[in-house]
Chain A
């Protein structure tokens, strides 16, 4: 099978899976979940199967259709996209295991719809990861927004709908009003929108126009949640926790920062952007978002909302790393996408497990819960340490590279931001860890609960282990990320 067909298969498989899930849902819950797991595993196997080829420097590509002359629906697997696709498809398996525990444990309604749209969202994610041009990227970006809407509004009550409205409104408006004009502008300025090593805009634009176009991209890609277009992310927390975990800690938000990184590296080109002072603001906006989101996180009482604001801050790490415009920092950006994904999905899994077992959502309720749910809280602690960047967790590795890049660029603002935000991260995560392990329960809870269902605990143990493992075994990821600047285009 040629590489082109593999790409097509990767895109089609989750869609076929969604159909299979819809059909199997009529027969029985077990069959439906089996279809989900099989589909997720098959997808991961195929995606991971592409790895050796990419490592050896090949860049398989595939053009699905030429819509009009100059605009194609085309895909190409390059290191950054490979990394993103491998991450999302791999975690989909773990997340599916977790979903089974969570959705059954909470007796959620409309489960078939839930699994089906989840699969479609994954197809859209794969499309984003492998898109070879801005047009294709945009198509799948919008598909991802639309396919996650039913997941976010899953509960369907008035409060949920109000949040879902913010979610859909912010993401659609920013993408149509800012991203789409940016894409059209790029096509007209550069004559194409293909992701090309070294960028395509050098010599085509200059002066303030560069900064303006960059602004349209950075704020137009609302999924990256750079302030002030971050409000949709806390709003999205009304979704069932598996959605928050895989989509709003990994697939959707990473699609945002992935797109920004790709635009910076392959559309502007880091050398070109470094030579134009009008693009400098991106670093400051990202730095501001990191600090501001961390400060807001400090004040949160609801665990999932706290995690959401933490995500906003962590996403801007990636944006800031991309904005440092040094290869080391871009590699740090890629590493951070992975490290943060492992850590944050663990944290969300833990939050969902707590909700399932104890029906607790607020931080002050967590006193002494570590004794009732040792596995969950151990995983939570590992995730929290990774967010802070303490060795031996994955968060340390990526922060190290970003810091190295910042020093390389002489950007002390970036260095200072990382230092301050590390302190802030510690300030909002460590009290939770302390409460859970060392405080005493004030009263015995009504239901004398233990751990969450086995599937949920299994999933969060796996991701916590991955968080630790990433500290020791990040070499392959590093090699892949290095290829962005070394490998042939």
Chain B
């Protein structure tokens, strides 16, 4: 193993984190954007290098300051974290590349350096969580990313973002506090913060009641962060009123990181140590997942603000990810992890298309985009491709994860068949809500809509199309995310007794 590749996990966080204060100093806003984008692209490159290493069978473990674990802080990367890192850094890079023009419209030039610094901190925090093997370190990264995200969401010109972000702040803080209480309890009983060490030390604990309480706190806390139904109320407005580029970035990855942590913590620490925990885990999360899927999709059916519509669809998609995990089976977890990747692709592309629409339309209600497809055929074509992926049509990435999810559900007997019904019904609802957008844009009256007769800016459109083509590519040749998610599921299942 070459020596430089050992440092990749640390670089993953250090690059964006150290660029953040530098960006503050770059006054002409173009430079700030360029520096941020370069740092984000570098982080993406690091994530790709890590992924290649992981696929080669390399395992990354990095001891901060060379202090041995469990006393020092350990960083580690396996297939699961590599996949999440790809999503986080990829989403950030794509959003930055696409978002230059729309961010210029939305954020005053003199505030831009601060905004981009916050962006980099959010990126550092979100990528810090997957690389950390230490529960408290994760908490710190979680707070960094959360505080930075509040700034990003509130950074736009839309004043409605302020109450939205206040709600997000309250709920997010409660979530983080719950998580901290959970870790505190475990630390009290085991004296360690290293996840791998916790798994071993809990064996020695005589009274498991505090651990059980900790499991409750951590699960609820992270479920809040991940917008698991019914703890999702912060999400729709936060996505809807944030600047468009921020929505692309956060919608693709922020809830995914919380879900990653939820699964990692649960499978690494609690599944091997708490008797019957797999059943509790399944019984607790499966109904919530099914409800999230059905209710999220139903609300999306009725929603007429495009961004809120997509946000409610995200709540349903979180449900899919959780549903796969709640089977506590290899195939279920594969589907779940795969859907983290595929949904990020689909939803990221959809929000990119929305960003395209924003540059030319007077608003984002369905009547505002009426007839937009006539003046913006490329934008809407990309929207349709991503929409098909969201629905799960063969040939797109969304199909692959739904296929695995159904495969996993059918292993669950009668309950599984009911759940397949849930998946099918909600996919049909997705057809309807995507169709409502298509209907407005393709068949609506162009005179009534506020669309200017121009296609979106070329740079934005090009990035949108790259993302749309990625949906098709990973739908026809899904070996990369599939290899990562299979390996991730195997790692997780190894901890289930």
Q: Mark A residues whose CB is within 8 Å of B.
A: 65, 67-68, 71, 73, 135, 138-139, 142, 146, 156, 158, 161-162, 164-165, 168-169, 172-173, 176-177, 180-181, 183-184, 188
A67 / chain B contacts, CB cutoff of 8 Å: 400, 475-478
- Indicate if the CB atoms of B442 and A165 lie closer than 8 Å: yes
Is B410 interfacial (CB 8 A cutoff)?
yes
8 A Cβ contacts from B62-89 to A: none
- Indicate if the CB atoms of B428 and A68 lie closer than 8 Å: no
- Indicate if the CB atoms of A71 and B477 lie closer than 8 Å: no
Q: Which of A71, A146, A184 contacts B406 (CB 8 A)?
A: A184
- Indicate if the CB atoms of B391 and A176 lie closer than 8 Å: yes
A169 / chain B contacts, CB cutoff of 8 Å: 435
A135 / chain B contacts, CB cutoff of 8 Å: 394
Q: Given the known A-B contacts A65-B476, A188-B410, are A177 and B394 also in contact in the complex, defined by CB atoms under 8 Å? A: no
A177–B435 Cα distance when bound, in Å, is 13
Given contacts A68-B400, A176-B393, 15 further A-B contacts (CB under 8 A): A65-B477, A67-B477, A67-B478, A68-B404, A68-B482, A139-B394, A139-B395, A142-B394, A142-B395, A162-B443, A168-B442, A169-B435, A177-B428, A184-B406, A188-B406
In the complex, the chain A residue whose C-beta lies closest to that of B392 is A180
A164 / chain B contacts, CB cutoff of 8 Å: 443
A172 / chain B contacts, CB cutoff of 8 Å: 431, 435
8 A Cβ contacts from B366-394 to A: 374, 384, 391, 393-394
In the complex, the chain B residue whose C-beta lies closest to that of A149 is B442
- Indicate if the CB atoms of A177 and B431 lie closer than 8 Å: yes
A177–B426 Cα distance when bound, in Å, is 11
A164–B444 Cα distance when bound, in Å, is 12
Q: Which of A65, A165, A180, A188 contacts B394 (CB 8 A)?
A: A180
Is B439 interfacial (CB 8 A cutoff)?
yes
Is B166 interfacial (CB 8 A cutoff)?
no
**Size of B's binding interface in residues, CB under 8 A:** 25
Of A138, A181, A184, chain B has the most CB atoms within 10 Å of the CB of: A184
- Indicate if the CB atoms of B424 and A181 lie closer than 8 Å: yes
A180–B391 Cα distance when bound, in Å, is 11
B476 / chain A contacts, CB cutoff of 8 Å: 65, 67, 73
Is B284 interfacial (CB 8 A cutoff)?
no
B482 / chain A contacts, CB cutoff of 8 Å: 68
Is B403 interfacial (CB 8 A cutoff)?
yes
- Indicate if the CB atoms of A165 and B478 lie closer than 8 Å: no
- Indicate if the CB atoms of B410 and A161 lie closer than 8 Å: no
B394 / chain A contacts, CB cutoff of 8 Å: 135, 138-139, 142, 180, 183
A146 / chain B contacts, CB cutoff of 8 Å: 384
Q: Mark B residues whose CB is within 8 Å of A.
A: 374, 384, 391, 393-395, 400, 403-404, 406, 410, 424, 427-428, 431, 435, 439, 442-443, 445, 475-478, 482
A158–B435 Cα distance when bound, in Å, is 18
7 closest cross-chain pairs (CB), A and B: A165-B443, A139-B395, A138-B394, A161-B443, A176-B431, A177-B428, A139-B394
A73 / chain B contacts, CB cutoff of 8 Å: 476
A188–B478 Cα distance when bound, in Å, is 20
B442 / chain A contacts, CB cutoff of 8 Å: 161, 165, 168
A168–B438 Cα distance when bound, in Å, is 10
Q: Quote the shortest CB–CB distance from B38 to chain A (angstroms).
A: 35
Interface of B is mostly: helix
Q: Quote the shortest CB–CB distance from B320 to chain A (angstroms).
A: 16
- Indicate if the CB atoms of A142 and B393 lie closer than 8 Å: yes
A71 / chain B contacts, CB cutoff of 8 Å: 403
A184–B405 Cα distance when bound, in Å, is 12
A177 / chain B contacts, CB cutoff of 8 Å: 428, 431
Interchain Cβ contacts under 8 Å between A and B, 18 examples: A67-B475, A68-B400, A68-B478, A71-B403, A135-B394, A138-B394, A139-B394, A142-B395, A146-B384, A161-B443, A162-B443, A165-B442, A173-B431, A176-B428, A177-B428, A177-B431, A181-B424, A184-B406
Q: Quote the shortest CB–CB distance from A137 to chain B (angstroms).
A: 10
B475 / chain A contacts, CB cutoff of 8 Å: 67
- Indicate if the CB atoms of B403 and A68 lie closer than 8 Å: yes
A181–B394 Cα distance when bound, in Å, is 11
A176 / chain B contacts, CB cutoff of 8 Å: 391, 393, 427-428, 431
A164–B393 Cα distance when bound, in Å, is 21
In the complex, the chain A residue whose C-beta lies closest to that of B431 is A176
A146–B442 Cα distance when bound, in Å, is 13
In the complex, the chain B residue whose C-beta lies closest to that of A153 is B442
A188–B406 Cα distance when bound, in Å, is 10
B424 / chain A contacts, CB cutoff of 8 Å: 181
B374 / chain A contacts, CB cutoff of 8 Å: 156
B400 / chain A contacts, CB cutoff of 8 Å: 67-68
Q: Quote the shortest CB–CB distance from B475 to chain A (angstroms).
A: 8
Q: Quote the shortest CB–CB distance from B492 to chain A (angstroms).
A: 20
Q: Quote the shortest CB–CB distance from A11 to chain B (angstroms).
A: 14
In the complex, the chain A residue whose C-beta lies closest to that of B371 is A161
Q: Quote the shortest CB–CB distance from B302 to chain A (angstroms).
A: 19
A168 / chain B contacts, CB cutoff of 8 Å: 442
A183 / chain B contacts, CB cutoff of 8 Å: 394
A156–B404 Cα distance when bound, in Å, is 41
A177–B442 Cα distance when bound, in Å, is 21
In the complex, the chain A residue whose C-beta lies closest to that of B427 is A176
A161–B371 Cα distance when bound, in Å, is 11
A156–B375 Cα distance when bound, in Å, is 12
In the complex, the chain A residue whose C-beta lies closest to that of B430 is A176
A372–B404 Cα distance when bound, in Å, is 64
A177–B430 Cα distance when bound, in Å, is 11
B478 / chain A contacts, CB cutoff of 8 Å: 67-68
Of B410, B435, B443, B482, chain A has the most CB atoms within 10 Å of the CB of: B443
Q: Quote the shortest CB–CB distance from B440 to chain A (angstroms).
A: 11
B431 / chain A contacts, CB cutoff of 8 Å: 172-173, 176-177
Q: Quote the shortest CB–CB distance from B419 to chain A (angstroms).
A: 14
A162–B445 Cα distance when bound, in Å, is 11
A176–B435 Cα distance when bound, in Å, is 12
A477–B442 Cα distance when bound, in Å, is 42
A300–B439 Cα distance when bound, in Å, is 29
A135–B476 Cα distance when bound, in Å, is 11
Q: Which of A158, A173, A180, A181 contacts B393 (CB 8 A)?
A: A180
In the complex, the chain B residue whose C-beta lies closest to that of A137 is B394
B410 / chain A contacts, CB cutoff of 8 Å: 188
A138 / chain B contacts, CB cutoff of 8 Å: 394
Q: Quote the shortest CB–CB distance from A41 to chain B (angstroms).
A: 30
Q: Quote the shortest CB–CB distance from B146 to chain A (angstroms).
A: 36
Q: Quote the shortest CB–CB distance from B240 to chain A (angstroms).
A: 27
Q: Quote the shortest CB–CB distance from A72 to chain B (angstroms).
A: 11
Of B374, B395, B439, B476, chain A has the most CB atoms within 10 Å of the CB of: B395
A162 / chain B contacts, CB cutoff of 8 Å: 443
A184–B478 Cα distance when bound, in Å, is 18
In the complex, the chain A residue whose C-beta lies closest to that of B391 is A176
Q: Quote the shortest CB–CB distance from B130 to chain A (angstroms).
A: 25
A172–B445 Cα distance when bound, in Å, is 22
Of B394, B410, B443, B475, chain A has the most CB atoms within 10 Å of the CB of: B394
B403 / chain A contacts, CB cutoff of 8 Å: 68, 71, 184
Q: Quote the shortest CB–CB distance from B111 to chain A (angstroms).
A: 43
B477 / chain A contacts, CB cutoff of 8 Å: 65, 67
A60–B42 Cα distance when bound, in Å, is 48
A71–B395 Cα distance when bound, in Å, is 11
B391 / chain A contacts, CB cutoff of 8 Å: 176
A161–B427 Cα distance when bound, in Å, is 26
In the complex, the chain B residue whose C-beta lies closest to that of A166 is B443
Q: Quote the shortest CB–CB distance from A146 to chain B (angstroms).
A: 8
Of A67, A138, A146, chain B has the most CB atoms within 10 Å of the CB of: A67
Q: Quote the shortest CB–CB distance from B39 to chain A (angstroms).
A: 36
A176–B431 Cα distance when bound, in Å, is 8
A155–B406 Cα distance when bound, in Å, is 42
Of B393, B400, B404, B445, chain A has the most CB atoms within 10 Å of the CB of: B393
A158 / chain B contacts, CB cutoff of 8 Å: 445
A142–B384 Cα distance when bound, in Å, is 13
A357–B478 Cα distance when bound, in Å, is 53
Q: Quote the shortest CB–CB distance from B396 to chain A (angstroms).
A: 10
